[in-house]
Amino acid sequence: MFTFLNIVESGGAGTAVLTGSHRLLNNGVAVRLQDVKSQLKREPFFRELCSRDFSERERLFRTTGRVKGVDLDVVELVGEPGDVYLMDMRVLHTRCPNTSRAPRMMLTQRFLLASVRGQVRNRYFEPPQH
């Protein structure tokens, strides 16, 4: 869940999401970010997306593609206090640069299914056993 504590307009460090990306690499197991990157950079759409010069910021948010039958669009999450986006955390996302003078004030909360909590905790938060 993403919600806004103040107005976040385009250019104010909203979150950029790649809609549809949660359908990629969706085989029911947790995947480390480095593995996601190595698998996706094999796809021409992701190589082009990551290598583009987006000095013209608006062009980024007109970027669309299709990978393995999945339609993908780059969207910026912007809003006002009280607006909420519910999102699958497997959707690829990142913070946009803040080109405004206002600080970015957003709040996130993750909700995990009970069946997944242990897997996530053990894989990412428990110290390795020797």
| Tens digits of residue pLDDT in 13-56 | 888 889 998 888 777 666 777 888 888 888 888 877 776 665 66
DSSP 123: I
DSSP 61: T
What pLDDT, on a 0 to 100 scale, did the predictor assign at position 124? 56
HEC string of the chain equals CEEECCCECCCECCEEEEECHHHCCCCCCCCCHHHHHHHHCCCHHHHHHHHCCCCCHHHHCCCEEEECCEEEEEEEECECCCCEECCCCCCCEEECCECCCCCCCEEECCCCCHHHHHHHHHHHHCCCCC
What pLDDT, on a 0 to 100 scale, did the predictor assign at position 65? 85
Report if pTM > 0.75: no
- pLDDT-derived band at 100 (thresholds 50, 70, 90) equals confident
In Å, what is the CA distance from 34 to each residue of 12, 24, 85, 108, 119? 28, 15, 26, 23, 18
Query: Regarding predicted confidence, which is higher, 119 or 83?
Result: 83
- pLDDT-derived band at 81 (thresholds 50, 70, 90) equals very high
